[in-house]
Chain A
Amino acid sequence: DTGVSQDPRHKITKRGQNVTFRCDPISEHNRLYWYRQTLGQGPEFLTYFQNEAQLEKSRLLSDRFSAERPKGSFSTLEIQRTEQGDSAMYLCASSQRGGPGNEQFFGPGTRLTVL
């Protein structure tokens, strides 16, 4: 399967714990995005990488959130001191620079539940 992959698919954690999610984009894609989606809402933009450079961060991404893409391939999203309000689906997407209209392709997501 050459699509976007995410790991883990599900994560249950206790409030106050740190969690880290991984995203592997489509191999030839140099752009990578993180979104958060809650029930009944569309995906909310969190951050964007072009290769290893993080070019945009949403104000939704508080100090407890950090994302990296150290070698321009896979990316990690870390949430420190999780809160119940962090419970959501975290989606990763990738696209190819210069691709038609920046069409993005999503991974299956990581569903986070904070108890």
Chain B
Amino acid sequence: RKEVEQDPGPFNVPEGATVAFNCTYSNSASQSFFWYRQDCRKEPKLLMSVYSSGNEDGRFTAQLNRASQYISLLIRDSKLSDSATYLCATGGFKTIFGAGTRLFVKA
């Protein structure tokens, strides 16, 4: 079993849709959780850290469920520019990434 698992997708959604990604992790001792966005042939860019209480940044909401060992990312009112691969990551300095979930937002 991989340490961090994501649904590879792709998710194809129309503009304005709400889309949710889940990510499960196997290391119960993980303390830090993140969502990164990666555009094709570019480096990952930090989207948001995920806190125990959950956090929201505009159209993006991240949640953590320690009991079930998963984190989620909700994107509301999808834009064409949201099309990218979304990577979840856990851990401290040795950060473990999932393989990413591809999102295509179409007009």
Contact = CB atoms under 8 A, between A and B. Distances in A.
Nearest to B42: A108
Contacts, number: 56
A28 interface: no
Contacts of A106: 43-45
A45 interface: yes
A45 B43 contact: no
**Which of under 10, 10 to 19, 20 to 34, or 35 or more describes the interface residues of B?**
20 to 34
Contact of B99 (A33, A40, A48, A91): A40
Contacts of B44: 43, 91, 106
Interface in A90-115: 91, 95, 100-109
B97 A104 contact: no
A95 B95 CA distance: 12
A103 B34 contact: yes
A33 B43 CA distance: 14
Interface of B: 4, 8, 31-34, 42-46, 49, 87, 89, 92-100
Interface of A: 31, 33, 35, 40-45, 48, 50, 55-56, 58, 91, 95, 100-109
